[in-house]
Structure 1
Amino acid sequence: GSPDAYDETTEAEDRGVFDWPEDTQSAEDVVKDARDRVIGAIRIDDPVGRLRYLQQRRQVAAWFSNAAVRRAKARPYFESALLVNAAIVPSNFGGKINPLNKYMRELNGAGRKELERSIAVSERKLAVQYGSNLQEDLLDLLQRSWVQHSLVDLFTHDGYDYAGAFYFLSSLIQEAIKDPEECDVLAARVDARKSGIGKEWLQNLCRAGRSNLLYSLLFPDFDANDLERSYEPQAQPDENSGDGQFRASELASLENTDLPELDVVMTRDGLELAAAAEAGAFATAFASSLRTGTQTLLSIHGSLWGAVQSASQSLVSHNQQLKDVDTQLKAAESELNRLSQERVEAEKEIKDARVQAVDEQIEQNQRTEQARQQAQARLNRIAIQESEIDRRAQTLFTQRQRLFSHAIEAQMKLYGGCFQQLRASLPLLTGKVRLERLSKAAQKGYFVIGISGLEDSGGEGRAVRMFGDITEQSEGGVRATASTSRTRAKTQGIPSSVADDALVLVVPENEQITKILKHLNTAERQYAKALKELNIWERYAAQASDLSAAATAAVARRVAGAEAKLEKALSNLEKVDGSLEAANDAFDDIETNKAALDAEVRSLDDTVRKVEDRRLYRVLNSPLLPTAVMLMELHNVTSVTAEFDRDYRVMGSGSARIAVASAYFDIAYASAMLVERFMHNVALVERVSKKLLSREWNGRFAQAFAKVFGGPPTWGKLFGGAGGLLMALDYGLDAEYLYRMGNTGGAVGAGIVAAGGVALAIASVTGSTGLLFLGPAGWLALGVVLALSGTAMMAWFSEESIEIWMRHGPFGQMAEKPFLKEPREAYYRLISLLMGVSVVIEPNPLRGKALRGELDEQDENRLTALREANTRLRVESAIPGLFREVEMVEVKSHLQLVETMAERGYLLGVSDMSNTRVLPIAENESQARVLLEEEFAGGTYVYLSTPYTKNTESQRWLGAVNLTETRSYHWNVRLQLQIQARKGEAPMVFPAPDPEDPLVYNRDDLKHSEPDFTKKDRPFWYDEEVRYYG
């Protein structure tokens, strides 16, 4: 041969069996050449190889999903988009309409595309579709019998090769049950997670038991009663018959071994398992002190246990019948609470009627008795309704008990195989672990796994409360699964049999696993405490750094009024031309028509009398209407003045100053009109009115004015016209601002009010002849109609803060508020809108039950506090666990107890003298009335002891004055949240200003950093909402 042929032969000899030359050409049919030459070919199927290939593809799918998440996080508006996608985009949550979804209409096509890009919607869809296809292929292979028989060959080995087969198959099961939608961490969770085809497959596998080939490979043969006894290893080791059936002795032989020699390990799975063990992949905090073999077996068992636990959650959470019963039970509980409040109110009415009946007259006693009888009838009706609801609730409890028992039995079938596998493979460590009744576990001194040692750990993760309830963290929140008290079990809908017979995992106190668990619990508590302290000090250190102060808002300047100059009126006497004869003729005509004139006067008097008798005239002419008008003007001035700083920042200095000027001008003009109305007989007022307000102008301007408006001008008319024009200017600027904000409907409404202000101005200056076919009354009516209709239209088209954020935020098409385009500021404002923090002061709803002994409470201190506390402060948020994240959230809460002392005296039963004083109670006394603080799923309860209202009667001035002193008490609350989102950045302070307000938190500004109990609705502070019932 030639040298080239020799080189090719040498190169081919150097290549291995599975090594191919790089220049090999691809072909659709690799055996075509052999077929053409009539050479036989054999196709060898490798099911295990196909499973490994699909497993690798699942890893590629996971990488692709993570890459999509990283791509989304690189977008500037990722955090805001994630919130919008989770809270606003879904049309419903749990079958209920999402009220926030309607605000999606504020986003146009470009905004929606930016939202989708910010959370990588298209990339994530591809990842989910890719993962779904792989899951279907993997499940299809695992369910085929020829694939399962191929897997049997892996379980016929010994030692680490046998454990490696468990490691490989358990990893396949984990991949098979993992739904692609669950891997999409950015997807909005609108409903409880669906069971999925993978989880349903594993449920069916466990239900089938050893009749399924895969189950017989993974789990031992056992009876349910075996789980309630300690595990006893077999005297003789299991024989390897080549069928792959579970061999407990083979796994147990690895419990006290270290890493094997590589020469002994023969299979790929065994080598991968040994390599992972050598790298320390299985050395967890729990298993760090154990032998390598134990660590390896614990890891294999943990994989299977996690897969079964994930598949079993849907048995309860997705049970629609159980959900329906729970919904009906909640509705019944709400109805009982409402009836309980009505019962308290009726009892109070009866008590008050009895007290009033002591000092009242006989006639009044009859009315009091009628009120008492009505309240008693109301009590009887409430008792009947409570009895009916209680009967219906008992039926629902029974139904729930049956459904819950079936669900528990189904879960036990899933967990039984894993539990027995754990004990059989690790008999020295876990052989003594067994199931025991909860009521007997404490009596026999067992360590309850998952419960014992966690009573003092606190936090959301604890599994048992001090009164003996076992809870489970499910998708819908914390759910009670068992209780040592039948009463509490009944109130929580737990079957009575479960209350005493709930099975828990126990182990004797002297076992090695018990000591490990105790040391681990102690170490976890110490670590959590140290981490918490570290985070708190880091947050304080971050806050100590200098922050840039915001520019101080410009001080409002009062508009200087121009000094009015009065023109001296030149009176011109009109010369009357005519002779005496003409005057006498006119006098004769008057005498002739006197009778007719008298009749007309009498008719006019009758008309005036009829008008004065009408209800509308009496109302308009009564002193109450001017008083009401004056109160409205005072309220307008107060609100405008209070909102001046905000309006200055939001709408600009011009709008804010015009609004203040209009409000003060209106109240000044209304005051002048009221003075003239009620004090027109006073000489000074009459002189000012005639010579200033009502005096007609003369001159060319006056003549031109009269030609246009039908009458000469006066200062009173001009002041009224100026008020109308100021009103028009004020609302005109509002209309321009609303239009810039995108609120077209509100802008039209404000424009209509502005037109009404112009009409009112014309009505003030128009003379009797009118203007444009309308007299003063017509223009007045038109102005009032326009003002009222425009105001109603503005109220109808008023917008929520979330609408403004959506329209002007990072995904909106408008940019009137540039600070909402900044990523961090937009995210900060959106969190504040969705946080939903409420601070509510309400009567203690548990006090009545505590006093009546209806609470099954073993903690005497808590029970005493519930009896004494008549008030409850409820601080909650729509974000679960917000107030528990003490490492990230700093809650600044301030309580103040206030005493209001009102004195009212009656002089000889006629004169009313009143005096009111408001005095804050000392801080130490206020804190002493805070009896109990406890957390719940949505926030915190604070139980308070509020002093009762006291009435004291006395006499003064030798009995001429009867004085009644009333002392009442109420609580003021100020709350501020500071959340440290990222280290090194200033904390976000809540509540944030509304999306229209560019205000920035300044810790050096005492208005921002210190509470003020004298004012409400201050920026960066939550106020209390008081609710009274019963």
Structure 2
Amino acid sequence: MTSGRLSDGPSCEMDKLIVQIVGKKHSDQQQVLLLGSDGTRIYSPKSEVLERELFSSTLKVWDHIEGTRLHLQIATLEGEPIRLPLLSGTKVTPRQADAQFNQIVPVLPFVALPGSKKVDDMGTPVLARGGYVYVFYQEKLWRELEIHVSENGNTYHDIDVARYRQQSGFLAGERKATGQALEDIWLPALWNNRHVQTLQLCFSEIQLSAARLERLEKDAASRDQRCDSPDLSGSKMRFKDLYKGKPDGKAMLDAFSGFDAKNPVAQALIAPIKATRLNLQYNAFPVSLAAPQRARQPGYERLLDHPARYLCDLSGQFPVESFREAKAFLAQAGRGVAVQDVRHLELTAMADALLASLPIEADAEPVDAGVLWEAQAGVVDVLDKARQRQVCGVLLDDACYRLRHLRQRVDTCQQLFALCARHSVLHPHHACALLVQQLVVPRSIRGQENPLHAAMAKLHEPGRRAINQCTATVQRAVVWRHMLSAQDALVASLKQSATEQMLADHLSLEGFDYVAAMYELSRTLATLALLPSNVDPLAPGGDMVDAVTGVGLWDQAVSLGQKFLNQAASDDTSPLHLMLWPECDLQTACAPYVVPVTDDENKGDGRFRATELARFETQPAPDPIAQVTLDATTLANLLAGDSLQNFFLINNGKATTAALVGIFENLQSAADGAANAVAKASQTLASAKGNANRANANVRSANDRLAQMQKRLGANADKINVNRQGRGVQQLRSMMPEHFGAAFLIRRNQVTPQHYVFGLEDLPGRESLPKTRYGEYLRPDGTPFGDIAPPHPSSTRLPKGDHLVLVIPRGHKTAQVVGDMNRTLKKAREAAGAVGDAERGHVRAKSGLSEAIEGLDAEKNKAAYRVQGSTPFCLAVLMLEVWNVSSESEALKQTMREKNSARATAGIISAIVDLTIALEALTVKLLGSQPKDFLSRKSLWVISEEGAERWLGKTLGEVITKQITSPGSISFFV
């Protein structure tokens, strides 16, 4: 049906200019203007509406006039309308039966919203969340629009780009939206029967900085990677060929979220769905293709493994059904029986259901675990009006959301492992069952056949189920698999060039926003270094086997995440490396840091800017309410609390020093852990065995002890490496020159009394080591005969070699602070040793004074391990100490290989004892640095109502009553 027809065909028209606007019922807030050559005269068009089933449009028709040009006019809330150039040099355009020669397509920005359980989940299209849309046209920023989200749908608000443009780029600072609320965004698709090739779009959570915009305008390669360039042209025939009778958004959601890779039929059925999904990625599509959906709720969505299933459920019953399914899963898993279909299981619902079943801990606040899973109000499809108007959608990339979502899912897995451990220890036979599961159930252990497994043949199924019950095997196996899938998906996303460019967006911000973006990225990368067994308290051997099915899970020698981290840290030419670390070589690392005379320039590429970070070394924490990005708001609240505090920062109050320390800790621990895993996987076992067989018995014993020490040192058991630790030292020094600028690497044999060596000074005496290592005999009166193998004199010290260690001038304030803390710990351990001696005296005298012994036990625990109270040791300093102790360890191992003789054994064992003291001191500090409220929901910071709705969405903002909880839960919600 048509209305207001001007003609019946091309033969009735002469020299017309026709512009086709796809869709119908357009408002006058966006208009196409035909301007004269001087730009002052406006020619009025005639309008014609063409209504069709799949492809309706509105035609704007003018008499063609030479020298005229087309502009897009956008209404504003104040001042003059915004006018943007569309086409200069208009031509006569004959009328066409379908698509016209000149075409403008009103679009809604969509993003794909995949789940977290499968790497190849392509996601279904949903409306973009709150943020910004950038449109580049003819290699220049053409439109910048801010997205506002409401229960009725999204609106788009233009920013007058010309107002902020200057000759050298853009004005720094915030750019405010002045355009009226638009229901869609008009974009050019065809000019003079040619596709518009120079139109590029991207979505961003943040408003891009002036430096970043300038970079994207000048750097075509970066712009191509950052932006999408969909074919916007539309026609009845084109839409029919691409989408008529093809799978829609609802079919995509069901197929991807319920896909079973083991089912060959499912694999065949999903092929056409993937093809249609790819068409959406490269072409504009009718909004009618998208599934009915509710308004975006980013905070609540990140709680879910399948957020699109929640958004596309208009009834509001998804939370209730998810919680019910989680409880049903726990009930079956609690019987020790594996659950076959867990495709739609929501792990956060499982965590809350499991938490609700556990007794409340003494120091925990009561939590209504089911509050997030209550039914929500039914809603109307937010796309209802857009469907009626037959406008189009374009699919843009939202890599930032993908990273946040996947990291949140990994955090949830960590929480679930801890909850499963708490649940399993409630069983009276938990300890025995765990021992059997680790030593008897596996058919093989570390590649060797397990002889104890034969005993499983005598165990009937009820007994096997009991093992699973008492060790929460079924529950943990589900969590284990999901954690690996989420990490693999995280790696796949980080490898995308569009993701790298998105990170450059955030790392091109200025001031505290830049610090916060670096901190957030460091947390995400640290997630990749973890293995499930690292965070599963019930998998000390790095594996887990179902006692009923015999199906097992093992840690990979090197995970995909560790490979990616090691590659990024090693390749100093990769974009991610350049964003995270400064340049460094041996000469630089072996000299005190020289503060640059000029500040690092923000070139808009996200490269590491040490001077910008160093500005915040001693600044107070900013006001959380004043922050405009989610990362900055999160970090400002963390700094306002005490979750990032440690002894090193006490004298600095709550300065942003803690954030800089956190960046170093996260990145360096991730890089060290990944490098260690890669190196360990590449070692030749035969060579190690050959070295061991050539050693005599005493040296083998010492080597065994050294191997144990290196295992406990974990990711850092190696000499200091300039390419890795040297780069980390440079990063730490450049970010915090006042605290660590004087630190540098030096050969061990060049250390003088003027140098303070991290980790190898202010250590407890040898008398603090447990004497049970040597054995002890008592006389009849209870007094000791003496040690069987007394320790060597304390004057025997570690051999000095040419390996590198990290030092700082002894008079530097950092050396004094670290030394003071180590001496405090030393005194506490000595006090604990005195208490232990007193306790043994009571035992020997058979006093029977149980009360006194219990009191001494409590005092010992307090003195030795709780000296730091609620303030943990600084992990960054600990890492520096671990590097030095590890370097000493590796040097000692080399000495043992070179001096493989009986007369060298005494000195070597003495050196091992000294090194053991350093290791034990590190162990105590590491234990004191573990987070104690990972699973608690104690309120740490308060978020404004506006901020809660802006970043979390209305649903979650109301549920959490504006309070975000615990470090784990902070990432849990944001």
TM-score when scaled to structure 2?
0.42
Structure with greater proportional helix content: 1
TM-score when scaled to structure 1?
0.40
Structure with higher RCO (Cα < 8 A, 6+ apart):
2
**Structure whose alpha-carbon radius of gyration is higher:** 1
